[in-house]
Amino acid sequence: MVLVDLTRGGVVTEADTAATVLEPTADHDALVSAAGGNAGPIAILFPSFSDGRGFSLARILRDRLGFGGELRAVGSLIPDQAQFLLRSGFDTAEISDSGAAETWKTSLKIIGRTYQPAARNPLPQRWSASDAAARALDEALVGTDDLVERIKLIAGRIDGRIAFSTSLGLEDQVILQAIAKSGVTKSGVTKNGADIDVFTLDTGRLFPEVLETVELSELRYRIRIRLVSPDTREVEELVSRDGVYGFRHSVENRKSCCEIRKVRPLNRALHGAQAWITGLRREQSQARADVPLAEWDGDRGLIKINPLADWSDERLNAYIDAHDIPVNPLHAQGFVSIGCAPCTRAVEPGEDPRAGRWWWESEDKKECGLHVAGTERRPIEAAAQKEVAA
């Protein structure tokens, strides 16, 4: 038996044993019992590939009972069902022929049209994102320096959900204006099935001015900006362990705080997206000096797009003035790079733009982890998990 990961198309090497196996005839009480007291994956049996009752059980577990653990399809399954299993909320599929794993992977990648919304992600998904597609998009974006045209080009080339994570900073406000002007979200979805999902990370420690800018931006551009919050339990455990201002005691503590309040919520929000738009620019810091217009994010399995990567400070500010773009009032008070309130201060003229972030730390690569490769994040994640376990 081989277990196929339906979200990635790969083979699961270390699979947990299913805690519950549900027959297709399972009644409501059986579903409630499985969802409520489950200590592991729930397996749903498919007696034959033509028996679709398992799809319905999966949707009930996800939509009505709120089950968030692993759903595993077992029994008589064929690769053509892969996409429908994924859309119904299944995470994995158990197949008897290990040689068919590649066929299942291919089936997940060749989706030709958008299906109904998924149980876990109500937005349509496609599976066209790849390293090659990222390189091709980067070359295409270099061909135009018009931001609105770049947004249209992005929407035209990406099949599926495009996530735009905004901090409401100057760069992100410029991108938001260009998205609104491009019209790609006017009907909610572009012609090729793509749409742009705009959200911001509400860490629980934002300046009030940031939320005010959210409101002003929504009113101006008629685009909803979702607020994505961290897991309450994880925040409580973090504060209990490190204290309210424990992030100032060490770099490791601060990165753990960023991990809980920013990185993990971001990863949840990006799940299922084919592309991620950011406001990174090469002039922002030395660590970002080589940021491309588009690149493949292998850890998250999507194309990361930085449409302002090659913009200068002068061009950015000129664009804001020319289009009367609403900006965070803190910028006028010397705040250049704005993060959480306890971790941000105004900078003096001539200081590095990110000098106001975590100013008690050294100047080398001061990043919160949102734009750091997974291999650099993992040591911090492991340390945080170890401390929690202790």
CB distance 44 to 70 below 8 Å: no
Residue 333: Cβ-neighbour burial (10 angstroms; 0-12, 13-18, 19+): exposed
Q: Which of 257, 258, 343, 368 is catalytic?
A: 368
Q: What sign has the CA pseudo-torsion 187, 188, 192, 196?
A: positive
Nearest residue to 213 (alpha-carbon basis) of 248, 169, 177, 157:
169
CA angle 35, 37, 38 (to 5 degrees): 70
How far is 365 from 287, CA to CA, in rounded Å?
A: 6
343 in catalytic set: no
β-bridge mates for residue 342, sequence order: none
Kindly give, in sequence order, each residue whose CB lies less than 8 Å from that of residue 273, ignoring residues fewer than 6 positions away. 160, 161, 162, 163, 197, 302
Residues involved in catalysis: 368
